[in-house]
Amino acid sequence: ALEDGLKKADADPSVKAVMICGENGKFSAGADIRGFSSPKTLGVALGPIVSLIESSEKPVVAAIEGVALGGGLEVALGCHYRVAHAKARMGLPEVTIGLLPGAEGTQRLPRLIGVPAALDMITTGKHIPATEALKLGLVDEIVEENTIEAAIRLANKVIGQPLGPRRLSLKPVPKLPNMEAFLQEAQVKVKRQARGFLAPELCFQAVQAATQRPFAEGVRRERELFQVLLSSGQAQALQYAFFAERAVHRWATPGGINLLFIIFDSILLLSLGLGTMGQGIVTSLVKANIPVVALEQNLEYLNKGRKAVMVLLEREAKKMEGGAQKLDFHNPARLQFTVDFNLLHDVDLVIEAVFENMALKKEIFHKLSNICKPGALLCTNTSALDIDEIASATSRPQQVIGTHFFSPAHVMRLLEIIYGRHTSPSAIATAMQLAKDMKKVGVVVGNCFGFVGNRMMFPYVEQAVFLLEEGSRPEAVDQVLEDFGFKIGPFRMSDLAGLDVGWRSRKGQGLTGPSLPAGSSARQRRGQRYSPLPDLLCERGRFGQKTGKGWYQYERAGGRTATPDPWIHGFLSQYRDTHRIETRYIDQEEILERCLFSLINEGFAILAEGIASGPEHLDVIYLNGYGWPKHRGGPMFYASTVGLPRVLAKLQKYSEAHPDVPKLRPSAFLKKLVAVGNAPLKEWMSYLSRQSPKL
Ligand SMILES: CCCCCCC[C@H](O)CC(=O)SCCNC(=O)CCNC(=O)[C@H](O)C(C)(C)COP(=O)([O-])OP(=O)([O-])OC[C@H]1O[C@@H](n2cnc3c(N)ncnc32)[C@H](O)[C@@H]1OP(=O)([O-])[O-]
């Protein structure tokens, strides 16, 4: 249509200028991402159309409203002028779906805004607001009112002016005094951050080509690189992740009810507990423009918490344009700190974020149930505790729901939303809406120990520790998983989170500590293999970063630079001697497979139990809360790319070698999917006889 329109306009002498706009207040979100999975729909190449726009003999003005992303922005770059609405956002986000701008955007953008800014936009895929686009010279004008009228005004003004200088393909790339050095440094940075993710590196190469070759050759290079990415497999993983994230917004209850309404006109939210988690939650709420009261049990904790929240908010405000004014967090109508439980009467929604202790949580929920107004929703921030048991302390279990935030809560996007046996659909809908307002990805899951994310994490960490018993070292295991794409491996993660957290939980479960029955075997619990290694470290005061020693050693207590610790190496060999374990060499493949496949195996069990309604939900949780590398699409998608028969065969092999490790025993659901012929991921759930009984 664009091509036809342009040709008609060019041929019609009564047309003096052309204006291109989108429909319904949106310029364009770019190519249809679904089209990339079918080569047929890629038939129409956008690049030549962009060139056609640029070569028009009549001035073409883009009127950008809403978004101009990807191919949308590339179309705008072909125009001779760009007018944007002040609220519009622009970007070349192709890298986030594993691609690069394939319609000449990598060649035009650096010519317009210079190499540093273009590289930044293209390799990160970030969306920038119109005000920033104006500063960069990406748009010629921004308007508060009618963009289309403004674009037409500009078009009328420029009729008859020479178009040569406005054709980006004819412009040279602006020179930098130190272009070589700049590019070298930028490439190192891109590579370091990509950790196996191809698209940023190829985006870099395409922009580099713009600095080294004439426009037409640069375009050829861009097309070659685009094809490499298109067939890399990473693009499919990222595009799957894009749609998976949107699919988790669609949730249903046992009767198929899916309520999408907010039950409160205006929310006054109360955050209870101002520890690290509470501080992050309050910061996110203020950022989401939700009036919030932060409550602590005593003044000492309150003042400490208030100070920390203020530091976080100041920092957030600095990142935003007009941040302090927008956040307005010194205004008591927006944010109050109190120790007065009477304020609970007026709040619509409570997020409790006290210490992870069942007795304490029950006591608080009993109190909340007595004080809060009848409609108030009561959320508990917990990473593993039973929502039904917490709800049983109230007279309104239908209004109790789990909201598992991830630390730091003002940064991490994931919010696991856990419904109990009595949680009402409107409570789920409200929690989902809250997630959306807080710009988080809410995923509805069922109630079980560890919910989805942590439940899948337990066997992964368990395998990592077993590998140490058998002959590996923390740094070797971490390296394999970091090479796979995780930001940090399980041991560095454990040091960061604090080894004492798990120790406390194991003591609570009677797996270690004083409640462990006398005479228990060191490496067996309840008939299963158990590793006391983490407990032994904790007994020696090695809690991780906070004590300067854990699985690694650090420069000081609270230090962040992990270095392999010879003490740990000696300790491990002594441990193996004590327990007569023969040290063996464990290769990278075994490390990777045992850690990942045990996690994936638990995912299949979760799906079969109806704790989550589809593999996409598990993947979205892992991508947004556990640092799973995005270009691998999430654990369940990864399993589908490895092939379920291979995952099954490997689990069978490892399970035979370790018969006392139940988490290596292949799940019945995985076996079934292999038996039916390696079913594709989107069909998995149709092979469950009872679908999502808990949702
Ligand atoms: C020979 C080679 C030729 C190559 C040519 C290359 C051209 C070019 O370089 C490549 C591209 O443009 S790549 C593209 C680069 N562009 C991007 O990567 C932009 C990706 N999109 C976004 O970032 C966000 O969706 C927006 C900011 C646009 C809206 O955010 P919001 O307001 O929170 O809304 P929301 O919930 O997010 O979306 C609403 C609905 O729209 C759907 N949908 C949206 N975009 C889609 C798309 N492009 N496609 C399909 N569907 C798309 C979305 O799934 C959802 O559907 P549902 O059924 O209701 O679930």
Chain segment 423-459, per-residue pLDDT in tens = 998 899 889 989 999 999 999 999 999 999 999 999 9
Angle at 654 between CA 649 and CA 658, to 5 degrees: 145
**Residue nearest (by alpha carbon) to ligand 1 atom 38:** 246
Phi, psi (5° rounding) for residue 75? Answer: -60, -45
| Whole-complex ipTM | 0.97
CA-closest candidate to residue 19, choices 136, 124, 130, 157: 157
pLDDT in tens, 632-670: 999 999 999 999 999 999 999 999 999 999 999 999 999
* DSSP 8-state assignment for residue 173: P
- Overall average pLDDT of the 13-23 stretch: 96
From CA 62, how far away is CA 165, in angstroms rounded?
17
Categorize the per-residue pLDDT at 263 as very low, low, confident or very high, splitting at 50, 70 and 90: very low
CB 273 within 8 A of CB 354: yes
- Dist CA 51 CA 54 (whole Å): 5
Residues 6+ apart with CB under 8 A from 638: 237, 596, 600, 632
| Of residues 167, 170, 166, the one with CA closest to residue 214 | 170
Q: What domains lie within the chain, and their CATH numbers?
A: 2-232 (3.90.226.10), 269-449 (3.40.50.720), 472-512+525-578 (1.10.1040.10), 588-687 (1.10.1040.10)
The number of beta carbons lying within 10 Å of the beta carbon of residue 124 is 17
What pLDDT is stored for residue 254 in this prediction?
A: 46
Expressed in angstroms and rounded, the spacing between residue 297 Cα and the centre of ligand 1 is 46
Q: How far is the CA of 133 from the centre of ligand 1 (A)?
A: 20
Q: What is the dihedral of CA 477, 195, 452, 472, to 10 degrees?
A: 0
Q: Which residues pair with 67 in a beta bridge?
A: 89
Indicate whether residue 94 lines ligand 1 (CB < 6 A).
yes
Question: 33 CA distance to ligand 1 centroid (A)?
Answer: 6
Query: Residue 509: is its pLDDT beyond 90?
Result: no
8 Å CB contact between 548 and 554? yes
273 pLDDT higher than 80: no
Give dist(CA 106, CA 293) in Å, integer. Answer: 47
Torsion of CA 70, 74, 76, 80, to 10 degrees: 160
Dist CA 563 CA 566 (whole Å):
9
> Is residue 167 very low, low, confident or very high in pLDDT (cuts 50, 70, 90)?
very high
Give yes or no for residue 32 CB within 6 A of ligand 1.
yes
pLDDT value at residue 267: 56
- Quick check: 236 pLDDT over 90? yes
What mean pLDDT is predicted for residues 264-290?
A: 79
Q: What is the mean pLDDT of residues 456-467?
A: 98
Decide whether any atom of ligand 1 lies within 6 Å of the 222 Cβ.
no
- Identify the active-site residue in 94, 222, 316, 352: 94
Of 487 and 37, the structure prediction assigns the larger pLDDT to 487
90 lines ligand 1 (CB under 6 A): no
